[in-house]
Amino acid sequence: MPDPTVPPTPPVPLDALLAREDLGLRRIAGPDDPDLVVHWVHTSEMADPYPYLLGGELLLSAGVHIPDGAGPGYFDAYASRIVAAGGAALGFGVAPVHDTVPDALVEACALHGLPLLEVPPRTTFSGVARAVWRLMAQARLAELRRVTEAQQGLAAAAGRPDPVPSVLRRLAGRLDGWAVLYGPESTRLAAAGREPGEEVRLALAGLAAVVRPDVSPGRDLPGTAPGGTGRPASAADTVAGTRLTTYALGAGRGFVLGVAAPRQEPGDHTIASVAAVLLSLLTGEHQSGRGAARSAALVRLLLGSTPEDVAGLLGGQQWRVVHARPDGPAPDHVAASALGAALGSALVDPDGRTVRVLVPGDRAVEALPGWTLGVSAAVGPREWPAADTQAARALARARATREPLVRHGGRPALTDLVADPDAEAHARALLAPLAAVPALPETLRTWLSLHGSWDRTAVALSVHRNTVRQRIARCAALLDADLDDPDVRMELWFALRRG
């Protein structure tokens, strides 16, 4: 017979159902096993219920299917088919068809090890099902509460000065077992909890080889989940009554989390998966050295080094600055980190509603769903501040034009024909009347770039359109210029580009 497919519902201990005084259920045959659980309730009056059972059910029947004069053979076949289908227990209602549970059914259930419950006349089958559903809801709530508390504890452990041992200790405590981190060379880097015997330790180390990408897989074990690189992302086995599970950390780095627990509780896999994600992040920083390199770059900057001095620590000399704004609420640090991961960089700065990301210059930046992006040109460290300004202006234009991504244009222009010192001196002289109010030149720049559109300029600057009108009118008065004249606009645009 095939293995039963147990419904994916929280199991309810059969003893918890028997303890309900309002139901009045009584066990009259079968094993008295405190670990026996019910996954669902099914009512059927079929003589052969096997095709209609998934496994793990409490089957309820009033005995309508029992023919007159049925002998022991009928009841033996009936009980054996329930057991073959994986049924957890049989509940027999003594009303309205039968006054008592047939003795031959009691004997057959005892023979096949099938728990048999007597359902009194006052208890309806729907009442039994409702009680099971309520117990399931309570079990699900308890599971969610346990998982949530474990997630919070694991996250707090990851923030401690010794994050990897702290996460392992918290995980081992939550699962009442042993947690171990294996390195790329199959070495045991850290462990916490009650260390099991040698047989379990060796089996867990062998199971780690199933998910580690840098070694040949071991024997074919049950419970493996397919991974994205041809290796399972996790693997499970049971040895000496201990449940073993291993989780690959990251993509191809060779770190593996192993867990050995004396029993499998609801939510254990979710809790261990959270720990695996945290350890994957922690070992990723350790393996690549990028976290240490970024820290070294920051320290050197604080101690007086220039961006040119530390650029090598960050992985390259040419970089782009990306300014991004979400379509929804202001991003938190988690959303900002996710954006950085999507752009391929951990150099992320969430600043209010805008997130700034420093991306390697050789990496293509594409539009991302849910974000509006402004991208600078690829520049060296000395030009990073200018690239930051380019990205900010590109983002403003993207928002105004409702484009998902706008790149800073880097093609040669007529302005390149004028020497920088001359162009900058001309720009300072022309724009000097606006220098006292920084918002005026920025508003004028945006307004000109958007062809004099009040509404789009208001969107780009996050101000009211009347504010834009007032600022442009003030610019015209201070400059004593006709801003409707295309020649005036061209000269001002030239100055604003070089000023």
How does the average pLDDT of the chain come out, rounded?
84
Phi and psi at 297, nearest 5°, equal -65, -40
Q: What is the mean pLDDT of residues 120-125?
A: 94
* Nearest by Cα to 321 from 377, 247, 258, 370: 377
- 433, pLDDT greater than 50: yes
pLDDT > 50? residue 478: yes
Q: Within a domain: residue 149?
A: no
113 or 280, which is more confident? 113
* CB-CB neighbours of 264 under 10 Å: 13
Calculate mean pLDDT across residues 278-304: 70
Please give the pLDDT value at position 413. 53
pLDDT surpassing 80 at residue 167: yes
Q: Which long-range contacts (CB under 8 A, 24 or more apart) does 412-419 make?
A: 415/494, 415/497, 415/498, 418/498
Q: Compute the distance between CA of residue 156 and CA of residue 32 in angstroms, rounded to an integer.
A: 42
pLDDT digits over 413-429, tens only?
A: 555 556 667 778 888 88
Q: Cα(224)–Cα(222) distance, rounded to whole angstroms?
A: 6
CATH number at residue 468: 1.10.10.2840
In this prediction, residue 251 carries a pLDDT of 53
Mean per-residue pLDDT, 386-401: 87
Predicted local distance difference test score (pLDDT) of residue 352: 80
Question: What is the percent of the chain where pLDDT is above 70?
Answer: 86
Closest CA to 309 of 326, 296, 319, 322: 296
CATH number of the domain that residue 23 is part of? 3.40.1390.20
Whole-number Å distance between alpha carbons of 210 and 225: 11
Q: Which two tokens stand for residue 264?
A: 């499998």
Let me know whether 71 and 109 are in one domain.
yes
Is 302 part of a structural domain of the chain?
A: no
pLDDT at 373 over 80: yes
Give the DSSP letter of residue 184. Answer: T
Do residue 388 and residue 435 come from a single domain? no
The answer as to whether 476 is a domain residue is yes
Q: What are phi and psi of 145, to 5 degrees?
A: -65, -40
- 464-486 mean pLDDT: 91
Taking residues 316-322, report their average pLDDT.
84
Q: Are 183 and 254 in contact (CB under 8 A)?
A: yes
| 209 occurs within a structural domain | yes
Classify residue 224: in a domain, yes or no: yes
pLDDT (average), residues 129-149: 88
CATH number for the domain that contains residue 272: 3.30.450.30
Same domain, 393 and 494: no
Say whether both 180 and 262 belong to one domain: yes
**11: confidence class by pLDDT, cuts 50, 70, 90:** confident
Q: Are residues 394 and 423 in the same domain?
A: no
Confidence of residue 24 (pLDDT cuts 50, 70, 90): very high
Residue 325 included in any domain: yes
Angle at 484 between CA 478 and CA 488, to 5 degrees: 65
Is the pLDDT reported for residue 314 higher than 70? yes
Out of 366, 381, 407, a domain closes at 407
Residue that is last in its domain, among 67, 101, 135: 135
Contacts of 113 (CB under 8 A, 6+ apart): 30, 31, 83
* Same domain membership, residue 338 and residue 254: no
What's the mean pLDDT in 438-443? 91
As for how many domains the chain has, the answer is: 4
Contact 271, 170 (CB under 8 A): no
pLDDT exceeding 90 applies to what percent of the chain? 35
The residue-averaged pLDDT of 353-361 equals 88
Q: Retrieve residue 489's tokens.
A: 């606009």
Instruction: Answer yes or no: do 165 and 121 share one domain.
Output: no
The answer on 276 and 345 residing in a single domain is no
Check: CB of residue 55 under 8 Å from CB of residue 36.
no
Q: Using 50, 70 and 90 to split pLDDT, how confident is the model at 241?
A: confident
Q: For residue 188, what are its two tokens?
A: 């045991």
- Say yes or no: 164 and 259 in one domain: yes
Q: Are residues 164 and 284 in the same domain?
A: yes
Long-range contacts of 453-456 (CB under 8 A, 24+ apart): 453/400, 456/400, 456/401
Task: Look at residue 300 and tell me if it is in a domain.
Answer: no
Note the pLDDT of residue 223: 39
Mean pLDDT of 330-351: 76
Query: Cα–Cα distance between 253 and 212 in angstroms, integer?
Result: 8
CB 370 within 8 A of CB 328: yes
**400 & 464 share domain:** no
Q: Tell me, what's the pLDDT at 300?
A: 77
Whole-angstrom distance, CA of residue 405 vs CA of residue 367: 6
d(CA 460, CA 292): 38
Lowest mean pLDDT among 20-29, 110-119, 234-243, 415-424: 415-424
DSSP 379: B
**In-domain check, residue 262:** yes
Q: How far apart are CA 149 and CA 174, in angstroms?
A: 10
Is residue 171 over pLDDT 90?
yes
Domain range for 469: 414-498
Domain limit, last residue, from 355, 377, 407: 407
367 and 337 in a common domain:
yes
- DSSP 3-state of 17: helix
pLDDT tens digits, 189-206: 889 998 899 999 999 988
When pLDDT is averaged across residues 211-217 and rounded to a whole number, the result is: 55
Contact (Cβ atoms closer than 8 angstroms) between residue 408 and residue 391? yes
What are the residues facing 373 on neighbouring strands?
324, 405
